[in-house]
Amino acid sequence: MATRYFGTDGIRGKVGEFPITPDFVLKLGWAAGQVFRDQGPAHVLVGKDTRISGYMFESSLEAGLSAAGVDTQLLGPMPTPGIAYLTRTLRAKAGIVISASHNPYPDNGIKFFSAEGKKLPDETEAAIEAMLDRPMTTEPSDRLGRAVRIDDARGRYIEFCKSTVPARMDLNGLSIVLDCAHGATYHIAPHVFSEVGATVAAIGVDPDGLNINEGCGSTKPEALQREVVSRRADLGIAFDGDGDRVIMVDHTGALVDGDELLYIIASSRQGADKLQGPVVGTLMTNLGLEHALAGLGVELKRAQVGDRYVMELLESCNGILGGENSGHIICLDRTTTGDAIVAALQVLAEMWRSGKSLHELRQGMEKYPQVLHNVRVREKPRSLDEIEPLSRARKKIEGKLNGSGRVLLRPSGTEPVIRVMIEGQDEALINQLAQELAEAVQHALS
């Protein structure tokens, strides 16, 4: 569905630049309120991450929803998956998240969850966009929406996270370093992991509105790696600013990315005979995960890059487990959306059950070397398959790999760039082949 404002993960951009402005967000709150109210009596949850502009946009949404006659329940700083969970359990018509996820503080965004704690259906997004074209009106004073603050939102979500692992699980003796990215998990994750028995040290838990994701979190885990090694901790866990991505670090300081975490959880579910359907990854998922899962008798299906597409494929093939190498992991047997804290808990539950360390559990999957080149072009073609020189170059390189690797050519969704990715067992060979293919793209399209 073509939309003007909604992308694959809501509406996002730089604060102060359209559409991430107070006046647009005011109108967006009103438009969404009109759509939700037309579906029946409505109240809506609003939560945010820790960036300073969240205060401004929270007020704008509240005013717009009130003008539409919709009550608002304000959650304050709360991880995105926590807002999805509370939308379901508090029986709200929708949940609205003010966050730009792993982006720096000058960015912000608005995304929505349905009453089921899932992304809004396309037709609802289309209805909101259509309403944005209408003049804004205000309900009579006796029908304006009210706003209240939910004081126990944090405690509710903490208890939910703990409920996703066995009640008897006790991590006493396990030392963990958490990196909360100065984001929405800062006042939640330390409680969750300490309450299941672990000894917790936390960094990235001092948000000031400007330091979210700055030199920390799942996109910049170097500080966590150093901290794990210096403290001689058993492992580290890094979240992104809104708490829907997770990367872990083993006791040696080595990164354990989303593909490896997905393998550990899938292996655990399969071993307990609780894995349903295929595991879903993306076009960027490491070939090593596909081979490791095949060794377990589990199929990997690949979606387009983006958690929205992972979710769509999971639902269409009746699967329960999917994710991306960035650490966005969806456990549909536990919750309705990608949840970093829940995903990390599933890994810890397998460590507890098996008695193995994170370092040992990751050994079941051998990651293949992966080389990525971003080739800037004048204009992105409609279809790369129709460009004969590129088709020839790709087939030639696939012949050189001789079944021991994988080639991916795809246009960027946001800029005039073609992404060239090759992975395989021979790192020197794939570096050479990736360079050859990148040059072929440059020659054909620049």
Q: Please give the Cα distance from 90 to 222 (Å, whole number).
A: 38
Give the number of other Cβ atoms within 10 Å of residue 255's Cβ.
Answer: 17
Residue that has been written with the tokens 């058993």 in this structure:
234
- Helix (H) or strand (E) segment spanning residue 256: strand 255-256
Q: Please give the Cα distance from 72 to 59 (Å, whole number).
A: 11
Contact 336, 80 (CB under 8 A): no
Nearest to 206 by CA among 324, 50, 385: 50
Beta-sheet strands, E only, within 15-143: 43-48, 71-77, 94-98, 107-114
Residue 382: what residue type? R
Residue 49: what residue type? D
Sheet with 107-114: strands ordered across: 11-14, 107-114, 94-98, 43-48, 71-77, 147-149
Q: Please give the Cα distance from 158 to 29 (Å, whole number).
A: 28
Q: Please give the Cα distance from 256 to 358 (Å, whole number).
A: 9
> What tokens does 374 get?
């971003």
Q: Please give the Cα distance from 71 to 397 (Å, whole number).
A: 59
Catalytic residue among 53, 60, 99, 101: 101
Q: Please give the Cα distance from 84 to 78 (Å, whole number).
A: 10
Active site residue 101: yes
Residue that has been written with the tokens 């984001």 in this structure:
183
Residue that has been written with the tokens 């080149």 in this structure:
373
| DSSP per residue, 90-103 | TT-SEEEEE--TTS
> What tokens does 95 get?
């949940």
Residue 30 sits at φ, ψ, to 5 deg, of -65, -45
Active site residues: 101
